[in-house]
Amino acid sequence: MSESIDLTMTLALLPEILLLVLAGLVLTFDLIWSEDRKRSLGWLTAGGLAVTLVVSMIFARPGEQAIFVWGGMLRYDWLGFTFQMLFLFGAALTALLAMDVKELGSRGEFYILMLVSTIGMSLMVSSADLIMLYLAIETTSIPMYVLAGFFKQDNKSTEAGFKYLLFGAMTSAIMLYGFSLLFGYAGTTDIYNLAFAIQAGAIETIPLMGSLFLVLVGFSFKISAVPFHFWAPDVYEGAPTPIAGFLSTASKAAGFGVLIRFFMAAFPTISTEWSNIIAIVAVATMTLGNFLAITQSNIKRMLAYSSIAHAGYILVGVATATPLGMTSVVFYLIIYLVTNLAAFGIVFTFWRTERSDEIKSYDGFSRRAPGLGLAMMVAFLSLAGMPPFGGFIAKVLVFAAAVNADMVWLAVIGVLNSIIGLYYYLIVLKHVYLYRTDADEKPVPVAVPARIALIILTFGIVLLGVAFAPWFHWSTTAASILF
């Protein structure tokens, strides 16, 4: 392919380029700076990500028309761009939250691995080619395996890293097999050309559905959909909390970005079949996630099951395969990222002082730290789908999409599930607000960077829930690329 590198191609990769430069900078300063200054790498990472975000927003906005760049490897469009901005935001806040725990925030590797993983996610959501997609997924996952096991001294963390690795490797191999079958049948690795091949009837239904299943396995792992959700609670529990937060938001969003692009692009003609499959997966995912969340006594495990349940709600939007449904998916992910990062951030801040993740240890939390208690309430109520927080409008939209697509039954199951969700979020709030402990007076200090991050997130949750029009508009733009 004789193609010269022009400006558009560079702009399409601008976020990734800047991320790579930033990773290089962090690596350099990690070598130069002395141990006690290394905490400032967090400022560098967060600041660098913020700059990347702003610069990309100004210069690298895609046009109305999607363009294939880099020999058809990437598709430069609003869908990918929206998700990339989301990852940058999530990574910046994760860096801020993690800064003030010594064994995490003072280690250069932590930031570098996170940045590399973010590069992988950015490429994932704009891949237009199976090979590119696979490479991007691995670029995302491998640093994550390391990050999940980052606390080497902690058996649970090591277990988390190893478990994540085994599960990830297995599902990724299955997915790769699916990719190879698709290539074998259609003779192309380009996702959009695959679509033509399918429409032309080049693949019989049964082999097609078979390969589709295999691919779905890989994606389901990424978004922790049932029955590939088993890793999530163990990994979230063992991994350092900011990493668990990052995994459950940015990484999951990346999975959804790929899922909707891949299926909407590659399989428009068989959408009824896969709609039904996804709907069933959605029901199983949210119901199982919600029911298991009720019984948890560890808050990180509870949040893990809750994030499985949320994957189920988002899948409701995916299952509709309508423009409104896809909009609601993107919109839901934006809100979910902000909300869940806040939830994990508060859990992490609490852990920093208490070194405990038991829900019981949150007794008297609102007396000890009224501000944090309030932030926690905001985050949890948003997860429960309560106005005026973002979670409400997000849920209304996915269920609206289901009703719109004549899947009222799915909407009904969804809303009933959200009641179960409400139950266990309220249980946590009861510990925070009602119960008392002997340590009522002991404050919970919040480091400055974490404070900044939590303030941004808490206000973000309210902002998304009240002034939702611009975000909805943005999501519509992103989703319209799929049709």
Partner 1 sequence: MQFPIISVIVFIPILAGLLILLIPSDRKTEIRVTALAAAAFALGLSAWLYFSYDLGVGGYQFVEQYTWLKELGISYHVGVDGMNVPLVLLTGVVMFTGVLISWGVDDRPREFFAFLFILATGVFGVFVALDMFMLFFFYEIAVFPMYLLIVIWGWKVSREYAAMKLTLYLFIGSVIALVGALAMYFASNLGTFDMIALEGAGFSAGFQKFWFPFVFMGFAILGGIWPFHNWSPDGHVAAPTAVSMFHAGVLMKLGAFAALRVGIMLLPEGAKFWMPFIILLTIVNVVYGAYIAMVQTDMKYVIGFSSVSHMGLVAMGFATLNREGMIGAGVQMFSHGVMTALFFAVVGMIYDRAHTRQIPELGGFSKKMPFVTIAFIIGGLVSMGMPGFSGFVAEFPIFMGVWKFQPWIAILASISIVITASYIIRIISKVFFGKMPEAYADHIHDVTVLDKVALALLAGILVIVGVYPSIMVPLVESGVDNILRLLGGA
Nearer to partner 1, 110 or 392 (CB): 392
- CA of residue 210 relative to chain centroid, distance: 27
The DSSP 8-state label assigned to residue 269 in this structure reads: G
Among 271, 272, 241, 463, residue whose Cα is nearest residue 352: 241
Binding mask 407-436 for partner 1 (x = CB under 8 A): -x--xx--xx-xx--xx--x--xx--xx--
Place of tokens 């935001």: 89
Kindly state the smallest distance separating residue 330's Cβ from partner 1, in Å: 13
Interaction between residue 444 and partner 1 (CB under 8 A)? no
Contact call for residue 468 and partner 1 (CB under 8 A) = yes
In angstroms, what is the minimal distance from the CB of 261 to partner 1? Answer: 22
- The phi and psi torsions of 129 (rounded to 5 degrees) equal -140, 140
Of the candidates 118, 89, 105, the one whose C-alpha atom is nearest the C-alpha of residue 448 is 105
For 326, the token pair is: 């896809």
What amino acid is encoded at 354 in this protein?
A: E
Distances (CA, A) of 146 to 139, 210, 235, 246, 308: 12, 32, 12, 13, 22
**Of residues 229 and 431, the one with the C-beta less far from partner 1:** 431
Number of CB atoms found within 10 A of residue 353's CB: 14
Helix, strand, or coil (residue 87): helix
Q: In angstroms, what is the minimal distance from the CB of 467 to partner 1?
A: 9
Contact 341, 90 (CB under 8 A): yes
Give me the least distance between CB of 298 and partner 1, in Å please. Answer: 21
448 burial (CB, 10 Å; 0-12 / 13-18 / 19+) is: exposed
Q: Shortest Cβ distance from residue 379 to partner 1 (Å)?
A: 14
Cβ pair 122, 17 in contact under 8 A: no
Q: Give least dist CB 389 to partner 1, A.
A: 10
Q: Annotate 132-153 with b (16+ C-beta within 10 A) or e (fewer).
A: bbbbbbbbbbbbbbbbbbbbee
Binding residue for partner 1, selected from 8, 158, 476, 480, defined by CB under 8 A: 476
Q: How far is the CB of 304 from partner 1 (least distance, A)?
A: 23
Closest distance of CB 125 from partner 1, Å: 23
Residue 289 and residue 229: Cα distance in Å, rounded? 9
Which one, 52 or 322, has the nearer CB to partner 1? 322
Contact status: 78 vs partner 1 (CB under 8 A): no
**C-alpha to C-alpha distance for 378 and 456, rounded to whole angstroms:** 13
Token readout for 407 is: 């899947």
Closer to partner 1 by Cβ: residue 41 or 429? 429
Quick check: 472 binds partner 1 (CB under 8 A)?
Answer: yes
The CA–CA distances, whole Å, from 123 to 9, 57, 129, 198, 256 equal: 13, 17, 11, 25, 13
Is 459 near partner 1 (CB under 8 A)? Answer: no
Question: Which residue number, 168 or 373, has a Cβ lying nearer to partner 1?
Answer: 373
173 or 426: CB nearest partner 1: 426
- Contact, 342 vs 454, CB < 8 A? yes
Enumerate residues 345-404 that contact partner 1 by CB under 8 A. Answer: 366-367, 370, 374, 381, 386-388, 392, 396, 399-400, 403-404
Residue placing its CB nearer to partner 1 in the complex, 187 or 370: 370
Nearer to partner 1, 12 or 378 (CB): 378
Least separation, in Å, of the C-beta of 365 and partner 1?
Answer: 13
Which residues form the interface with partner 1 (CB under 8 A)? 366-367, 370, 374, 381, 386-388, 392, 396, 399-400, 403-404, 408, 411-412, 415-416, 418-419, 422-423, 426, 429-430, 433-434, 468-469, 472-473, 476
